[in-house]
Chains A and B, each alone.
Chain A
Amino acid sequence: MNRRKSSGMERKMSRQYLVLVLPGFLIFTIGLIVPLFLSFRYSLTDWDGMSAEMKFVGLQNYIKLFGDKEFLESFWFTVKFTIGNTIIQNICALLFALALDSGIKAQKFYRAAFFIPCLISAVIVGFVWLKLYSNVLPEINTWLGTNINFLLFGDADTVLGGLLIANNWQWIGYWMLIYLAGLQSVPAELYEAARVDGAGPIKRFFNVTIPMLAPAITICVVGITTGSLKVYDLLISSTKGGPGRASTSMIYQTYTTAINGRQYGYGSAMTVTLVIMLLLVALIQVKGLKKKEVQA
């Protein structure tokens, strides 16, 4: 009698779970899974995105992709941008979080000040930094009589640096909050025990703080990496992929190829490649970092 009752309850619970999951599942399927499969289908054709004709070309688009100098250039730009962001944002966010966690005065003010930029759209951030580099900062040269090159978006050699500054300015505060939450959840007893064992601040940091922050590190590293690989909106309002093609990211290249260049099939091949790349990077990072996570 009891068993029948519990299985009935389980069925009821399962139905409830299903009902709760269904909206999300439908949205995810229609908005992401179906387009992804359609994208793969288009990537095997020479479709221009407009005409009714769509010739099957097999893997030709993928073969062309790996010999496409422009795509490879955009790939390398994206990789450099991602590596730069992942290193700078993680280190700076962690350092800021440690500073705020150390009990400094006006902690709330700094927390808000660092966090505000991430509330702004990346398009606005790009525009703001474009104006800063080209109009506002050069004025400082005029006032001080100096000759510092602030026109970072104008030179192929400095554009990556300029974009890293803009992107890090926007996102460091966000990741800092995640590290801060991680730091605040580290039990004080662990530090106490380490102190009793004679561990100094550096040892405590590497042997207690870092291992305990491993889940936060996983979130931040994966989030920053995947976010940087998808960079587009920052570029559209600041460099437009230039000067020349110096800041053309994979997404930017995909958009211009598929939409402006009317090579939807080829652009879809770029999209599928990027999705596979994103999945692989995220998978490797999650697997690798999860191993290092410890429980308090």
Chain B
Amino acid sequence: MVRKMRKRIFLVGMLMTSFGITGCQQTADAVANEEEMIYLSVLAGQSTPDAGIEDMIDEKVAEILPNVRLEWECVDWGENFDAEVNARFAAGDIPDILIGKAQDARHYYATGNLAEIEPMLLEEIEDSAKNTVMVDGIAYGIPYNSWYQGVIYNKKIFEKYKLDVPKSRLELEQVVDTLEKNGVVPFAGHFQENWSVGNTTMQFMLNNIFAKNPLWGDAFRDGKESYSDNAVIQDCMECNQYILEHTWEDALSVDQAACDNRFDNGEAAMYLTGTWSLQFSNQNQQSEEYGIFPYPNLTGDSKLIRETNMTFMKSATTEYSDEVDKIFEILISDEELMGEILNYTQTFSVKKEYKKEFESCLQDEINIYEKSGQIIEATVGNTQLIWFFQNDVAAQELMWLQGKKELDEVLMYADLHRLESIIQ
């Protein structure tokens, strides 16, 4: 009996020990796995169409680098990104990866917080995009995609009224007249948000000011140029007024989403915007056919605007430089992921010989402008006048468009705040 009892106690003891050891082992494995995991912080400054790409990147990273996790902080690029980056730089809490726009690489490199990008990672990037992130021959970011800005037009409406793409202001006025005579709203317009006025004003300024003098911003800050004494800038702002006069009546109260929707329903013939406005059309799989042309400038030599959009930057102090580079490599080399992102954001690749997963309805016309060199990079203007300044002046401009201010006051305001037009 006693022997039986001893045997049972021994067996129970063995079982408990074995369970204990296994349990401990499992816990230890979990701890080891947890310790092996690398968490990379990402601060993403996103424009509206970019929201959602983080899931696509996460999925791919989990597949290829199972021990790496990305911890995303997504903020609105126009409203909060610069402020957030500055705060993080000031606190010394620099995210391992920053996602901004091409001009951000140039702005932030001077703080010493951005790491140089391995030349190997940029080998496949188009030179035109690469140039937007280069400072003294060194790249501080990886341009990923671009979008185009100009007038997107409804081809069916243009064909119906036998209209040609206008190349001069006079031709544009004739197109507008024909459309209005036929009861068609010439322009889709949304003037609820300051940013849209800031964007269109920069589009006009790029072709009228910065295309002629890429250092206009420096001259402006030196007091050699001004808004008040410049008839061309006045004309740029009046172009917004022209669009407002030839769009739907409630345009001052319409936001981008509503405007995209209306344009996609064929309620207007032309839309001064960027290719981001086609995201709605793409998601709804509408069959409207669109084309794009640059808004004619005063000299009739307007160019289509290309903005290098998402740009990946690396912290100069990251502990995981190799892992960050691996992620950059995935982003550039994985064309399936690239295709997914480009299709979702309705943007265009800046990778050389990228095999297209999707073809935008604007692609043919964009190719024509690209091949003939009729392209101007948005960074030309955006590095000369920072977005905060553009947006701030746009708020004043919008008040003029609402009839609450005189144009002279807007121009004067810009001149008074000229020192805020660049990061000192």
By a beta-carbon cutoff of 8 Å, the part of chain A in contact with chain B is 48-50, 134-135, 149, 151, 153-156, 236, 240-246, 256, 259-263
Contact = CB atoms under 8 A, between A and B. Distances in A.
Interface string B100-129: 000000000000000000000000000000
Nearest to B194: A242
Contact of A262 (B86, B252, B253, B257): B86
Contacts of B194: 240-244
Interface of B: 79, 82-83, 86-87, 89-90, 191-194, 250, 252-255, 257-258, 388, 392, 395-396, 398-399, 402, 404, 420, 423-424
B86 A156 contact: no
Most buried by B among A135, A151, A236, A242: A242
Please give me the 3 A-B residue pairs with the lowest Cβ-Cβ distance, nearest first: A154-B253, A151-B253, A244-B399
Contacts of B398: 242-244
Contacts of B82: 260
Contacts of A153: 192, 253
What secondary structure prevails in chain B residues at the interface with A? Answer: helix
A243 B401 CA distance: 10
Contacts of B424: 48, 262
28 contacts: A50-B86, A50-B90, A134-B253, A134-B255, A134-B258, A135-B258, A149-B253, A151-B254, A153-B192, A154-B192, A154-B254, A155-B402, A156-B402, A240-B193, A241-B395, A243-B252, A243-B253, A243-B398, A244-B398, A245-B395, A246-B399, A256-B392, A259-B83, A259-B86, A259-B87, A260-B83, A261-B388, A262-B423
A194 to B, nearest CB: 51
Contacts of A245: 395-396, 399
B252 A154 contact: yes
Contacts of B250: 149, 151, 154
B119 to A, nearest CB: 30
B255 A154 contact: yes
A240 B89 contact: no
Contacts of B87: 259
A243 B244 CA distance: 15
A236 B78 CA distance: 12
A248 to B, nearest CB: 8
Contacts of A256: 392
Contacts of B191: 243
Nearest to B87: A259
A231 B292 CA distance: 42
Given A242-B193, A259-B86, A156 B399 contact: yes
A134 B79 CA distance: 21
Contacts of B423: 262
B393 to A, nearest CB: 11
A48 B87 CA distance: 12
A83 B404 CA distance: 23
Nearest to A248: B395
Contacts of A243: 191-194, 252-253, 398, 402
Given A236-B79, A262-B86, 16 more contacts: A134-B255, A134-B258, A135-B257, A154-B192, A155-B252, A156-B404, A243-B192, A243-B402, A244-B398, A244-B399, A256-B392, A259-B86, A260-B79, A260-B83, A261-B420, A262-B423
Nearest to B195: A240
Most buried by A among B192, B252, B388, B399: B192
B200 to A, nearest CB: 15
